[in-house]
Chain A
Amino acid sequence: MKGIRFWGTRGSLPATLTAEAVRQKIVAALAGASGRVFATRRELNEYVDGLGFAVSGTYGGHTSCVELVTRGSEYVLCDLGSGLLPFGQAALARHGAASPQTYHIFVSHMHWDHIMGLPFFKPAYLPGNRVCFYGGHPELEAALRRQQDTPSFPADFSSLRADIEFTCLEPGRRYDIAGMAVTAMRQRHPGDSFGFRFESDGRSVVYTTDSEHRLEDPAQTAAFVEFFRDADVVIFDAMYSLAETTSAKADWGHSSNIVGVELCQLAGVRQLCMFHHEPTNDDETISRVLADTRRLEEITRGAAPLRITAAYDGMEIAL
């Protein structure tokens, strides 16, 4: 495994950046530059880099789709959210339509934000391509077929001309897929979800989204600590605050930054990547949560530091 590339990082529903939000970023950048002269392009770029991500960038709005970049020629993805659209475009731009490729796609569960990208995934319509779906739900194939049925979508599942396979994974069992060892784990979420641990080349990544971690159950906590153990990166559902997950949004099936930090510290994880951002949170809010979470890690740090990041569409992590 060489790295991770994020194509969609929002939870529940795609989120758009409005014209007003773009305007506010431009106004903030221009206000900060008032009276300054940038003699070179480099000075200008340095100024932009110093503005902070909430002004100079955006976390993006596509729903869950994460690529694990392997050393092999086959693609590996987690989830089929709307981020699958730009991924498919990039893959076609790279290989062309006449060069068959293999795509391994691990599906955490079948809620709409995690499967809505498939009808727009052009490689699945092309004969010669191979698309292999993996998940813990036996109903995965039926759910993907149903979302393309009339009247939900004009092209039904039979329009997908690639060779398509489905594999139902048994939680806790190790599978060797695309040169990686893969293990699934059942998670607390309405209708269940599954987290996946990927290992290869001495690197390990855990994808655990749409999972309500409640640490008051020691056995369950211990099981997830083992699942996360010594991972290089844990991609973690930090959609809500802890207060929300213990009150109004209890049993909604999501977790918080606080629980993410605690689990990753217990497991000796190197990087916690917050993911599945609440769609109503703007860039400033997500950046504030990121800063808060880094502070929490600082004041609770044990033997080794835990790096904290917040995923954004287009973000890459090298392993």
Chain B
Amino acid sequence: MQFSSRQFANVAVAEVAGRIDHAGAAAFEQSLSPLLARSGTGKGSVVLDFSGVEYISSVGLRVLMIAAKEMKGHGARIILAAPQPVVAEILAISRFDRVLEMAPTVRRALEWLSASALAAYDAGAGSAGTP
């Protein structure tokens, strides 16, 4: 599992890649935690770019659910963007597509979240986030 993030105005965009299986879920949770910790600061919303994720297990999905609950508690949002077809199927079979916000692309997710973040994204003006 690989994880890196960049900050666009008030939204963090995290690129996730690889397999979020039983072994990778703990690393995924650990990588997400700094973004969750900031979710109450006004720079909290997160877009997860899932275009590089090949598989996600029940443990990985549980991490997503806990993250979404925590973000919601802070008045922030987490949107899962651009899942591959197989991952989209897993999200549908688990019914996570009914409880998680999902977007077809990262750009569309930013449209929903913040005009300033979208402008920064389009201008390529992101700042480095957590590795």
A: which residues have CB within 8 A of B?
A: 214-216, 218, 221, 241-244, 246-247, 256-259, 262, 292-293, 295-296, 299-300
Q: Is the CB of A215 within 8 A of B98?
A: no
Contacts known (A216-B25, A262-B57); A296 close to B62, Cβ less than 8 A: no
Q: Number of contacting residues on B, CB 8 A?
A: 21
Interface of A is mostly: helix
Q: Is the CB of B22 within 8 A of A242?
A: no
A285 to chain B, nearest CB (A): 12
Q: Is the CB of A246 within 8 A of B90?
A: no
A215 to chain B, nearest CB (A): 5
Contacts known (A215-B57, A215-B58, A259-B58); A244 close to B95, Cβ less than 8 A: yes
Q: Is the CB of B62 within 8 A of A246?
A: yes
Known: A256-B94, A292-B92. 20 other contacts (CB 8 A): A214-B62, A215-B58, A215-B59, A216-B59, A221-B22, A242-B58, A242-B61, A243-B94, A246-B62, A246-B65, A247-B65, A257-B93, A258-B90, A292-B93, A293-B93, A295-B89, A295-B93, A296-B89, A296-B93, A299-B90
Q: Is the CB of A300 within 8 A of B61?
A: no
B56 to chain A, nearest CB (A): 10
A140 to B101, alpha carbons, bound, how many Å?
45
Contacts known (A259-B58, A262-B57); A242 close to B89, Cβ less than 8 A: no
A259 to B94, alpha carbons, bound, how many Å?
10
A238 to B66, alpha carbons, bound, how many Å?
21
A148 to chain B, nearest CB (A): 40
CB-defined contacts of B92 to chain A, threshold 8 Å: 292
A255, closest chain B residue (CB): B58
Q: Is the CB of A262 within 8 A of B65?
A: no
Q: Is residue B123 contacting chain A, with contact meaning CB distance below 8 A? A: no
A–B complex contacts, Cβ < 8 Å, 8 sampled: A241-B94, A242-B95, A243-B98, A259-B58, A262-B22, A262-B58, A295-B93, A299-B90
CB-defined contacts of B55 to chain A, threshold 8 Å: 300
Residues 49-75 of B contacting A (Cβ, < 8 Å): 55, 57-59, 61-62, 65-66, 69
